[in-house]
Amino acid sequence: MRKSLLLNVFLCFSAFALLPRAQAQPMFDVPFVPTPHVVIDEMLRLADVKPGDFVMDLGSGDGRVLITAAKKFGARGIGVDLDEQLIFQSEAAAEQAGVADRVKFLQQDLFKTDLTQATVITMYLLPGVMMRLRPQLFALRPGTRLVSHDFRLGDWSPDVTTQIRKNTFLWIVPAKVAGKWQMKIPLPGGDHAITLELRQKYQEIDGFAQIDGRHAQIWEPRLWGDRLSFVIVDDRDRDSEASLYFEGRVSGDVIAGRLRRGAGNAQTIHDWRAVRVAAQ
């Protein structure tokens, strides 16, 4: 009896050892949930995708966002996902849609992906992943458009929000403008020195100015990518005071653009250029 029992136990363990082992399932930070096609259209419309754009879709799933960007909007791009099966599915779908020459899908970690070539980044990621990714996104080239389905970037308020079946959020990566800037501009009576002190939180800016050392408030400041605009009231002479409308483009430590003084047929237009002399 004992020999028979031992033999049966041995056979059972041997049979178990020969059974195929279950494949370990990879763990992903973001589960694949397909984005509705009308939401994809809205994301790409909101980001103003054009044929010259390079779109990067983070967590690209079955490739539908990038394929739509190529097929409907004429863009090129890369999709990034960790799931090998979804990468294969995306490549097959791109072939079927006739856009395989315009899109590429990479099986890799989005946190280790170089995003600097993107002009547009699309995302449908969970809040925790969005927050981990935020510093990398904020460091991208000013003017890069970021568009997300459903989830936001924490306290970085979107520039535009729409709701068509789902919430869609757009951010324009802002230039870094915080600090002290100096310039000279032509005003009645000759050239005058203006100093700007700008504070910044994401695209939200405020601050104050000085004209020849006199305090002046900054009105209607706005930063949209690398484009900056604001208004200063030239009130040196209360009988002939006028608004100074500044519009310019930020390029590193230089802002250059056009200045309009006054309104209507009394308006004059001048070039202006400011240089950052101290960062914040």
Least confident among 76-80, 213-217, 251-255:
213-217
pLDDT band of 31, cuts 50, 70, 90: low
Range(s) within the chain of domains with CATH label 3.40.50.150: 37-172
Q: How far is CA 117 from CA 44, 97, 120, 258, in A?
A: 17, 24, 9, 30
pLDDT tens for 45-98 read 999 999 999 999 999 999 999 999 999 999 999 999 999 999 999 999 999 999
Range(s) within the chain of domains with CATH label 2.40.128.120: 179-279
Sheet-wide strand order for 54-58: 103-107, 76-81, 54-58, 120-123, 145-149, 166-172, 160-164
Domain boundaries 179-279, CATH class:
mainly beta
- Predicted local confidence at residue 30, as pLDDT: 56
Q: What is the DSSP letter of 19?
A: S
CATH for the stretch 37-172: 3.40.50.150
The answer to whether 178 and 187 have CB atoms below 8 angstroms apart is no
